[in-house]
Structure 1
């Protein structure tokens, strides 16, 4: 057999590990402790042949397959037919029809070039392949490949996994890597969480040249500053000179004070400053002659469901406007030259689990005790708390809607940045003198319902 070729066997398993019947089906496989059934007749023109053998210190075990006696017979429709008794064209035609059903399995196996076939075979032996052409076979193979990379810790960085129940969150998926939830939704059918997880670098590591490397003290300080954790006017030593001109908070940026080169390293001194057109006020950068924050008139007079308000700065997003009602963004505009944001806010029910009720002049829950309602409400009220727990070492406590920050390592994508808000990537970059380090410009935006 040529080197590198793939042997493909369709298996059907017995309901018991030890044979208690006189005849077996062609292709049937069972565990033979002691390997006593090798070459024993298992049917008409059929015998057991060992396809895998396992030796331990005090025992031996074989996987036996009921196959045709020798090359004089060919497997056709579950039987071993002697070749001379069939027309050559008929044999080829039947074999062609049977081989067509194997194409989907062969396609899946080719996805992983060095996949150990016998390992895959052992795992699928516990179930009978009823329809090789169905999508179930492909799903089994895909799950086996995923389990294998998780068990061996060989998953590729940024690989995506889908799971019901989210029990693998935080599970190791590679060297210095772990599974991180990037999307979490409640299944309407099973009332369980459906998670999309990604294999990412652990918190104390950062992606560099396709691998996860340890975050140094200097790099750790960079990450904190880029994510808005530094104070206004703070001076930072920037080894590799990658911070100059980067956003580091709402209406804030790093400004180069001094740059120099020492041997093979570039070192810069940068300062946390307001962007042009903004003035410092109480540790924040406020637009010159900026209008006062939009007042929440609903707190005094009360608002009805559907009422809209023009909100400069989008400060009202998520604020209460009635009984079980909050402001939600209908549309928003960002001025590129100043990064100021303007929103049209609508007073709406908290989420789809609440409906408008004239009885209490507000929104009431559709049904009491419904899991989706409780969980959705908990997501709104505790989302920011979860975000702070996961990234408390690298992020500040809150972000404004429309705020853009530089995220060295691109770890904040799809993570919550406030009530009904999450980070989206608007641009990717790499350090000028350290190109293997990847970074992203992320914006705190409204969550799409």
Structure 2
């Protein structure tokens, strides 16, 4: 297989090319820092519109040199990141293969999220016992959340630079095509260093047995999100001697979501992030910064502005989560079983490629009904904060934008892949995500 066949040059650009890549690379990190500054106790959220002070917004932000040279914070974060990497490689789990790559090979993966999560839970429980519930690690995390956010932004930049540079180094062993050429992402081989660094040039950068992309997707950011939420719960308990029901609920809802992802992590192997996208700054920053430091905004807000929901609202919000999860889980399960040939009675459209497009059951409601369920889940998290500030509803808007972007990408791919069959499918299932709306 020739180089041009294995790694064709990228000709279409996302996010308006280099301009969009630079804008996002600068803008989104600033948004993360601003959101985390606005949540501080000394910058009270209820005055968001009436008393907006840009000077106060940047209080407690140190010079860049402080973050680059702070040995204490870098030691903590690097110990967290590489400690999890060691656990990911060494703890037992199921061995699985990913999807077939362009050189006709499949990469091996170890599915051991349950073992890693159990190990972390044991460590937290042991520290709780040894410290008499004081947990200085959680207190440190709560007090330095903004600083750690900036550390992860810098680390994401450095990691994506390292992955971009390594994509030019030939493999030690020949791949399935008989060359030492790395498999590049179809969207990240433009030849422009800024754009390729942002999108991700190599499809599956690896450090020995560790798949860097999948590791970052599931471990450091997701589990740090969980710990930040716990630090908020812990802080409120130490400060007041009690826990408000809203903060407890958001911890339970998001904790369930995280552990459900761990229990079903093999599903990530077929997701677009793993099968199609390269690993560049976009994914590194999204996994390591955006997830832990913006998905935790609800818990952080409730730790400084407690809300008592009461039984009725508590139950109603829990109901929104349950409905969203039911749609998300049952729709994905139905599609998985259909692909395995377990539901031959469901209506589908035959394609010229010999595959079938499901258009029955949940998948008659919309083309991405699972996205709709996932979006409902995001609403349940935000609703725990009431309606005192728009800040905590950032996630609903961000997630809607992300889901629509994914839907558009998937639609373009399917139009090219299925041709006339996709036209028939769109007639049978006209709605994209939300039934009868979009």
Identify the TM-score tier after normalising by the shorter chain. Answer: under 0.3
Name the larger-Rg structure: 1
- The structure with more helix, counted as a fraction of residues: 2
TM-score by length of 1: 0.19
TM-score, length of structure 2 as denominator length: 0.20
